[in-house]
Structure 1
Amino acid sequence: MKRSKDKFYMKQIFDCISDGEIIATGKIAKEIGLSEKSVRNRLNELSDFLLENNLGEIQRKPRVGIWLEANENQKEEIQKALSDEDLQVGNYDPRDRVNETLKIFFNLRPWQTMTTQKLAEKLFLSVPTMLKVLKECEEWLEVYHISLVNERGKGYRLKSEENEYRVALKNLIMMKKPGEEIKENIDYFFSNIDVSAIRKCIIQTENEWDYHFTDESFYEILIYCCIAYKRKELALPLVSDYFPEELKILKKYNEYAFTVAIFEKLEEVFHVHFLTEDVLFLSIQILCSKFIGISDVDVTLSQVKKYDNKLVDFVDRMLKVIRDILDVDLTSDEKVKESLIIHLRPTIFRLRYGTPQKNALIDFIKKEYKNVFRASWAISILFEEYYGLQITEDEIGYIVLYIQAAIERKNISTAR
């Protein structure tokens, strides 16, 4: 059972079969207002639960119908199970309560609120359970610096900057990885938008630029474009306090030109005007997320070396620091230089404007390459000196991998 309201439907299904009489799936579907496919899925989950807990069995006979075989004691236990909000039945995941609650909040207008009672009714939960779910929602939102504000006498609403709102909504929609579930979320949030027209604009731009995105990358661009169109009528300002020097460099990159091309098509199709801030926001998200196919390595290196001397100098200084600490000279290793330039280009924008990136290998890196890791922490001073940024431990971990690989290449070359 994927959402709390599914247990509500399970109760209804149980009511239809509890007397032990034969009933057709189609009749159950008509009585409770679900499709026959949905009823069959819930019957399968209920059947598995009953067998696992020795609470009887749901029998099926083709072209005849279904019926429940259970004694009165077993039926009482089934009733109790379906009334217990915390008891798992089927494929239920407690996180789905949080996801469903967040979807309700993100679908509200900025000034709209929702009371605890109303939320509990929508999700078929008790008020105490709903309050626990709201606490979990606050923890999820905190990552994006979004607050769940409780206005006395009105209810809860989201409070956030527009930039954080868009990133959080995109991640909420993408939380369910299978394509069909992402499509369902897109339909839920953008039901009044011609999503197919936006999709077409992106595909046309993709073909013109000869890019081939992964499904995940394509969905992210599609979602951000839908958000930009939907939020346009609200006239909520995107934070635009970008560093002029970085902004100038960003506009030289292909990510920016590609984003401009998409928005030009959207303006032509929808007869609206998007702000420069919309273009900047999406181009930075594309850059930070390392979308596949925006620029090949040679083009990126050419653009950086031509327009971003600061980044090139930063990498040179970084390798000199590593040399002084580890007594390993990598300053003439062009491969590690180029690798670091390609990696750090989005890292700098991500640290300043995006969401910090987690490194699943960080514990392994700290243990196996501890000397290089310790030495690389000195690079954090350079980040503050050059960019006024504090680099995270996770990001340091990625840099360590490049440095370690270069050291191993040098050792192999020396041994020959």
Structure 2
Amino acid sequence: MLNPRLTAILRELMRAKSAITGEDLASIIQVTSRTVRNDMKELDSVLARKGGGIKSIRGIGYELVIQEDHLFKEFLQIHFQNENGASPATPLDRLRYLMKRLLLADGYLKIEDLADELYISKSTIQNDFRDVKKMLEGYGITFEARPGYGMRLIGDEVKLRFCMAEFIFNRNDYRGYLAENEISIIPLDKMQGIKEIILDQIKEYSVSLSDVALDNLVIHMAIAFRRIGNGNHVSLPPEELTDVIKTREYKVAEKIISKLETKLMCFFPKVEVAYIAMHLLGTRMTAHLSADESEPQNETTRITIQILEEIEKELNSGILDDKELVIALSLHLKPAINRFKYGMNIRNPMLSEIKLNYPVAFEAGIIASRVLKRETGITINDDEIGYLALHIGAALERKEMNVVPKRCLVVCASGIGSARLLSYKLQSKFGARIEIVGTTEYYKLKEYPFQLIDFVVSTIPIRDSLPVPVIEVNTFLGEGDLQRVQFVLKDQSEQSFEYITEELVFLQEKFNSRESTLQFFYQKLLNLGLVDESFLDSVLEREAISPTSFGNLVAIPHPISPLSDTTFLAMCTLQKPIDWGGKRAQFICLLSVEKNSTQDLQKMYDLLGTVVDDGAKVQLLLKSKTYKEFIKFLFE
């Protein structure tokens, strides 16, 4: 099987959209180019027996090739399953193991015994415990040490259970815990029994749950079953208990608990029934809008409209009047407010992908979180912000679908057959966003009425100056050709370039922390008169809510609300990656939006999105030595 470094290289090759150089791989994995060359030979040798291989293209880089799809997929499934089941070796793996071990311990644990389990020294595990302690502090959980016995966890029972849900179960599948070091909470057949009972009762009472919410409820009920069996019960303030008992969800919880008591042969006190009802209150979703819910009213709707007004004010997103979004957000916020009212968490298995693929929508989610804090006093976490971003992202996509198509003229020198093939491929790829108004030969081009078209796609070089953009492509449209057409469809080169100036682009800098990088930006912007003294504090306040690192070595810091008199982008590349809130960052783009701006900034956000999503582009930007070179790669 593959060692961790070869596995990391394979992941990067699978993720890359085109060939990736050995130098870029060395930078990402933090090894030398020579090591990458040696690793490539070894990786190619292994994959050759598993239906794949490595193709080395001189001057371009390495590509993953797959000869036998079925054999290669089988290898991946076995390899990554085995990798997940391996005994803890890295500090992060040991941290997860120790968290699970401590949370599931019925009594005291000794450090010496844990060190023996992990085959590490006592000093190493003591270092690991410092990280464990920090992690637990986020849940308000501490250690209780007793000489001769060891240590155990103490804290509020509800918080202990939430912590168990986070660390014991795989985020995507509650069955995943069975493969992880044999640390389990209850047998799988009992988990399945709990799920079946819940499904029966929510169907009977017409309570609709998402798949994630359903698994979340199963997990929490399994944890409750184990904790009650060990004599640990939740406690609720009398007024909270009274409020919950009045709800319809409490009746559903009573039926679920009654069935569980018979099946699992246990007893759930009244307060535990209320605890399950709280989960139902915090996870309820509506699959089909009923007459009384199709237009949510009152407080939740008011807060939703406040959120959308704030998003429109800061991002000028054009989604303020999206009625579907108003309904979806209102229905989502009802259970979300209940979750945070009762101090409950909900995990978001899609969070990383949302932050990476929908950075603008996630930023809108951050704005929504500030409005919720102001209007209700509730502070929501990244997981919940991610769910809000999904609704907002859908609205942004709907807006894009309503865009007027760009009119395109195709120029092809090799005949009408090739011209039609090119036209059909363009129409197939871009659909309603593009309208092919006709095809023509080069010699007839100057006679064409350019007021009827927005751009030209040509398979031959056009040296004459034309009043519309010209995109030179191959007849068979490669990936690079498609990206150039996509670029013109979004008008990025015209509408984003104005926000970037040479005096705000800094290349190959040497900073070792997020704070020193932001301080550098702040000083430069202050000296140029672009910001005032409050700017840095506002940027740090935004970082405190959720780090602005989006993956692919990119971070996009910005103030928590618009502060400057103009919209601008300040960009910086670093010689080495730095830690940016738990992710590595090497390309930093500081964004500042004009106060009370009425400009449509979506094209600029789209440009930033393409950078976040394109690791190869980031590597080119990081290598740039001059402003001219940097801009060429940025808009290529």
TM over 0.5: yes
Instruction: State the one-letter code of the partner of 2:105.
Output: L
> Alignment partner of 1:278: what SS?
helix
The amino acid of 1:302's aligned partner reads E
Instruction: Map 1:305-324 to 2 at 5 A.
Output: 305=296, 309-322=298-311
Preserved CA contact (<8 Å) 1:362 1:394: no
**Within 5 A, what are the aligned runs for 1:89-238?**
91-92=86-87, 93-94=89-90, 95-109=92-106, 112-175=107-170, 181-183=176-178, 188-190=184-186, 198=194, 201-202=197-198, 204-205=200-201, 208=204, 220-238=216-234
For residue 298 of structure 1, report the CA deviation from its aligned partner.
0.9
CA offset digits 1:168-208 (Å, max 9, x no partner): 223333138677653467984336x9667646534544665
How far 1:265 sits from its partner (Å)?
1.0
Question: In the TM superposition, what whole-angstrom CA distance separates every residue of 1:375-410 from its partner, at most 9, and x where no partner exists?
Answer: x73x55542343211345665565466456546756
Task: Report the CA distance between 1:113 and its aligned residue.
Answer: 1.8
| Paired position in structure 2 for 1:346 | 335
Match of 1:298 in 2: 289
* 2-structure distance, mates of 1:232, 1:329: 51
**Aligned counterparts of 1:336 and 1:246: Cα–Cα separation in 2:** 34
| Alpha-carbon distance between aligned partners in 1 of 2:305 and 2:241, rounded to the nearest angstrom | 20
Q: CA deviation at 1:318?
A: 3.0
Find the residue that maps to 1:298 and give its secondary structure.
coil
Larger RCO, structure (CA 8 Å, separation 6 or more): 1
Q: Map of 1:64-75 to 2, 5 A cutoff? A: none
Once residues 200 and 392 of structure 1 are traced to their aligned partners in structure 2, the CA distance between those partners, rounded to angstroms, is 30
1:383 aligns with 2:378: no
Which digits, 9 at most, give the CA deviation of each residue in 1:43-77, with x for residues without a partner? xxxxxxxxx9xxxxxxxxxxxxxxxxxxxxxxxxx
Q: Is the 8 A contact 2:304 2:330 kept in 1?
A: yes
Cα distance between partner residues in 1 of 2:169 and 2:303:
35
Does 2:231 match 1:240? Answer: no
CA contact (8 A) 2:307 2:371 kept: yes
Give TM-score, length-normalised by structure 1. 0.57
Question: One-letter code of the match for 1:173?
Answer: I
Conserved? CA contact 1:339–1:402, under 8 Å = yes
Q: 1:99 Cα shift?
A: 4.0
Post-superposition shift, 1:163? 0.8
Distance in 1 (CA, whole Å) between partners of 2:364 and 2:172 is 33
Residue 355 of structure 2 is aligned to residue 355 of structure 1: no
Residue 274 (structure 2) pairs with residue 277 (structure 1): no
The 1:219–1:184 alpha-carbon spacing in structure 2 relative to 1, beyond 3 Å, is farther
Indicate the structure with greater strand content: 2
Give aligned-pair identity as a percent.
Answer: 21
Aligned pair count reads 317
Q: 1:325 to 1:208 in 2, by over 3 A?
A: closer
The answer to whether the 8 A contact 1:316-1:337 is kept is yes
Relative to structure 1, is the Cα distance of residues 393 and 234 closer, same or farther in structure 2, using a 3 angstrom cutoff?
Answer: closer
Inter-CA distance 409–125: structure 2 relative to 1 (3 Å threshold): closer
1:5-16 equivalence runs, <5 A: none
Cα distance in structure 2, aligned partners of 1:351 and 1:171: 16
SS in 1 for 2:293: helix
* SS of aligned partner of 1:389: coil
Assess, with a 3 A threshold, how the Cα gap between structure 1 residues 303 and 139 changes in structure 2: closer, same or farther. Answer: farther
Q: 1:230 to 1:408 in 2, by over 3 A?
A: closer
Range with bigger deviation, 178-187 or 337-346: 178-187
Partner of 2:568: none
Structure 2 residue identity aligned to 1:182:
Y
Partner of 1:335: 324
2-side partners of 1:365 and 1:351: how far apart?
24
C-alpha displacement at 1:344, in angstroms?
A: 1.9
In structure 2, stretches of 5+ residues that fail to align are 2-41, 43-82, 406-636
- Contact persistence 1:162–1:237 (CA under 8 A): yes
TM-score by length of 2: 0.40
Q: Spell out the pairing of 1:21-40 with structure 2 (5 A cutoff).
A: none
> C-alpha offsets along residues 6-50 of structure 1, whole Å, 9 cap, x if unaligned?
xxxxxxxxxxxxxxxxxxxxxxxxxxxxxxxxxxxxxxxxxxxxx
Distance 1:312 1:163, change over 3 A: same
Instruction: Identify which range, 113-122 or 229-238, moves more after superposition.
Output: 229-238
